[in-house]
Structure 1
Amino acid sequence: MPQVNTVAVKPGRRAIGFLIEPNSSPLLHCGLEVLPGNIIVNGFDVTHQRSDANFHYGTMSLPLDDLDAAAEEIIGREFPKTPHKRIIRPGSALMLRLLTLHKSVGQLAHDSPDVLELPEVLRAFENELIHIMVRCLAEGAAVKPTVSSRRHDTIVARFEEFLEANPDRPLYLTEICAAIGVAERTLRASCEEHLGMGPIRYLTLRRMHLVRRALLRSDPSKANVTQIVTDHGFWELGRFSIAYRALFGESPSETLRRPAEQPEVCLDRPSSLAATELTARVN
């Protein structure tokens, strides 16, 4: 399905990602188009990725110290400290080797996982994958973002930081623009580029997730759906109920009545949304 994803990389590791099928639909990484044959080098901050249907994606990661040591051995130097969200395009032959080996290891892990428990087999695959990864990153050409794209990166990062600092309450556009020091028009353009939607729609979806979390945490014998919904800024209860069911597959009252032993869903902002259904879900 088409999706909008928020992605974070574990500190201390370098993670790369790439499309694994030549007919895969394109990926937008922080507003930059990623095509088959490109590699994303992820930083440690939060990034946003948008994809259409028929999307096939693979990833690899390595501790930074191990990657630097491997680079010293293979290319005779450490990698330069590059900006986050970098996109690399290696030569076609190297990229084909990476994709072929990555697919082989994945298939082996699926069909015969016990083989990968053999230390010599595991070491051989790891060494080959690391060698190809280092060469792809060292020899590939960087796809440079525009000045506008870098500015939008900064604005969306501040937007995300403000959301993180206020995880448990509804937020509205005017206070966010004032807090992060940008005009509404600029924030809208940045969010459209990164998230595929404007900030108002994004905040509406976020508030719906907050409602769901509140319903799941409440005692159904004491809680009132109307009170919880209006506390989060939704006043047209009929329209809200329709949008809630479209997003979560059940009514607010059904969520409230869920047995306590069921796993709790804790999302303070939308993290994976079908792009083709966004309008239906919030209107």
Structure 2
Amino acid sequence: MLPTTRGDFWAEITQIGMDRLWMQRFHVSLPQVSTVASRPGRRSIGFLTECNSSPLQHCGLNVLSGDIIVNKFDLAHHRSGADYHLGTMSLPTDELDTAVEVIIGRELLKSPDQRIVHPHPALMSRLLKLHKAVGQLARDTPDILERPEVARALENELVHVMVRCLAEGASADTTTGVRRHDAIMARFEEFLEANPDRPLYLTEICAAIGAAERTLRASCEEHLGMGPIRYLTLRRMHLVRRTLLHSDPSKVTVTQVVTDHGFWELGRFSVAYRMLFGESPSCTLRRPAEQPNIHLSRPSSLTTAEPRAT
């Protein structure tokens, strides 16, 4: 998750694991771009949990209040504004297929291009209320979720409404161009991950992932709201900051950390770093790391808030 503007950043994440169903709730303060990885063997959905949430783009597609994102990829990009609220749910693929057969008596009409589903408003409203209620239980009275009969009843109801939303909703089609951009962005992320510590140039990136420069630029603007070099720089600057915050100033130097992340023009880097984070890299290295405020609520929720993570 990369905040794209300067300011006080915090994120609250609630995770709830039931027997088969996993769910999460996110509330993020600043505009951000995030890379979302899906666990193999599970099918997941996502949706805005508040009608006043900032807009969301999923792989370049606009997601409105009342829409459901159907995640069909190992990796996806989300882009949002400030005050962003998202909910997710996932089931093992075979468990979802079984639930579909039991609830609607047939298989889902599977489309390889299905990304966004528009459920009936009444069903979507029911899903949002259930999701919010379980999130509040996890935060306020988590011991209730330890009771097997309560957890089982909530899980069954959530799965039932989830399946009906997917089965009875209308889906939005995607174009060949969108699918091609998805594949390019997956290769782009893989290349950045494999080359974290050396300077990268646009011509080199394009050759490595097999995409024309114009196509890569268009794909990045669609998915990330910025060009590939700006995204690479933003990504690495956040990695530098994280390393500086967790390093011992008696053992490492700013120059070591910065060059280890592929930055060689130290003067330009320092100016850009100060503009984004409001302080010099040396100030970040000298001060103690800010520890996240973590509150664990047994048995099944995790809520974290990280003031001024940027």
The size of the alignment, in residue pairs, is 263
Per-residue CA deviation, residues 20-61 of structure 1 (Å, 9 max, x unaligned), is 122323211000001011000112421111111232211111
Out of 4, 28, 39, the position equivalent to 2:57 is 28
Distance 1:90 1:210 in 2: 39
Distance 2:114 2:185 in 1: 13
Greater strand share, 1 or 2?
2
Distance 1:45 1:124 in 2: 30
Report the counterpart of residue 15 of structure 1 in structure 2: 44
TM-score, length of structure 1 as denominator length: 0.82
Letter of the 2:102 counterpart: E
Report the counterpart of residue 235 of structure 2 in structure 1: 206
**Aligned-CA RMSD value:** 2.7
Deviation for aligned residue 1:191:
0.2
Q: 5+ unaligned residues in a row in structure 2: which ranges? A: 1-29, 293-309
Distance 1:175 1:34 in 2: 33
Out of 128, 151, 165, the position equivalent to 1:136 is 165
Report the counterpart of residue 32 of structure 2 in structure 1: 3
Contact 2:47 2:68 in 1 (8 A): yes
Residue correspondence of structure 1 range 1-283 to structure 2 within 5 A: 1-83=30-112, 86-212=115-241, 215=244, 220-221=249-250, 223-226=252-255, 229=258, 232-235=262-265, 237=267, 239-248=268-277, 250-257=279-286
CA 1:230/1:101 → structure 2, altered by over 3 Å: closer, same or farther? closer
CA 1:72/1:187 → structure 2, altered by over 3 Å: closer, same or farther? same
Distance 2:204 2:173 in 1: 33
Secondary structure at 2:84 match in 1: coil
Q: 5+ unaligned residues in a row in structure 1: which ranges? A: 264-280
Secondary structure at 1:101 match in 2: helix
- Looking at both structures, which has the greater relative contact order when contacts are Cα pairs under 8 Å and sequence separation is at least 6? 2
TM-score, length of structure 2 as denominator length: 0.76
Distance 1:3 1:132 in 2: 30
Distance 1:89 1:210 in 2: 37
Greater helix share, 1 or 2?
1
Letter of the 2:48 counterpart: L
Per-residue CA deviation, residues 62-92 of structure 1 (Å, 9 max, x unaligned), is 1112111111111123335543671111111
CA 1:217/1:130 → structure 2, altered by over 3 Å: closer, same or farther? closer
Contact 2:46 2:87 in 1 (8 A): yes
Letter of the 1:157 counterpart: A
Letter of the 1:180 counterpart: I
